Amino acid sequence: MKRGRLPALARAAFGVAFLTGLLLKADTQLVAALIHNLAAEFDSINNPSPEGWGYNESIANGAGPVGPFSADWNSPDFGPGQPGYIGAAAGVHAGWAQRIDNGNTTPTFDDPIGTVMTHGPTSVAWQAPASDVSLFSGPVFATLDIGIWNLRNIGRSGTWNLWLNDAVLLSTGAVNDASGTSANPFDLAGGSGGAAALGPHTITTGDYFRLEILENDFVGVEFSVTLVPEPSSAKLLAIAVACVALCMTLKVSLRRRGPLASTGIGCWKSAEFKHR
């Protein structure tokens, strides 16, 4: 029987891999996502909603909330009993609603039950609630997923704009009869700002994204916001710590020109084995 020790470099590599693995595992456990969805969180009572959604006028019309919630939103088109926020500055038709089954069929409209719909010119904004941001210990990153389409095809078109804090125009483009369908909406990644316009964007409490719909007709909107902490932070930390540990180990090994004996780095001190 012969007793020996792992060569210093092998023990260093083992320790680095072990420590890096622990840190990356911790990073995975810490990463969480919050998702806000316009349709899932449509609020018929609060405007703005606790989740951060605001059903608003266009920027040119002040960007404030549209009119009150009504039991009959654009009833000439959707029939009585279709609730929604009626418009104000641009007229009663220019508001926001979520399609329900009110017993009125709309064969010329692409408006499945649950569709969030508007009649421009209007806007919808999502503002980061403090309760969301407080759940993350570091920077918060927001990624948007937005799709739009005309609810009916009667030859109308208009502009859409995507803003950050009403100060930065992230992207712009056109909505028309060729802009997708409810089954396959036009992805705003195809706008002037490309996919980068949708994020990820670093945000904090109070930051908001606004989608303006300026077409003078009915448009369906899908809009979701995914919040995550910056996932690479812990990974960069793991790499940095691993590199420092490796340098320390090699420095000790070279100084002693022999097997690693006792470096004070506990996770490698007991890395011994027996071999024949």
pLDDT of amino acid 246: 53
Q: For each successive 10 residues of the chain (276 residues), what is the average pLDDT?
A: 47 49 46 89 98 98 98 97 97 98 97 98 97 88 98 98 98 97 98 98 96 98 94 51 52 47 38 36
On whether the CB atoms of residues 117 and 93 are closer than 8 A, the answer is no
> What's the predicted TM-score (pTM) here?
0.75
pLDDT of amino acid 29: 37
**Residue 171, beta-bridge partner list:** 162
Domain spans, the chain: 2-30+234-275, 34-229
On whether the CB atoms of residues 43 and 49 are closer than 8 A, the answer is yes
- CA atoms within 13 A of residue 175's CA, in its CB half-sphere: 35
The 3-state DSSP class for residue 96 equals strand
Structure tokens at 101: 């089954």
* H/E segment holding residue 143: strand 140-150
Q: Write the DSSP symbol of residue 35.
A: E
Please state the separation of Cα 115 from the chain's center in Å. Answer: 20
Helices 232-256 and 8-30, packing angle to 10 deg: 170
On whether the CB atoms of residues 43 and 53 are closer than 8 A, the answer is yes
**Residue 124, beta-bridge partner list:** 55, 211
Provide CB contacts within 8 A for 112, sequence distance 6+. 99, 182
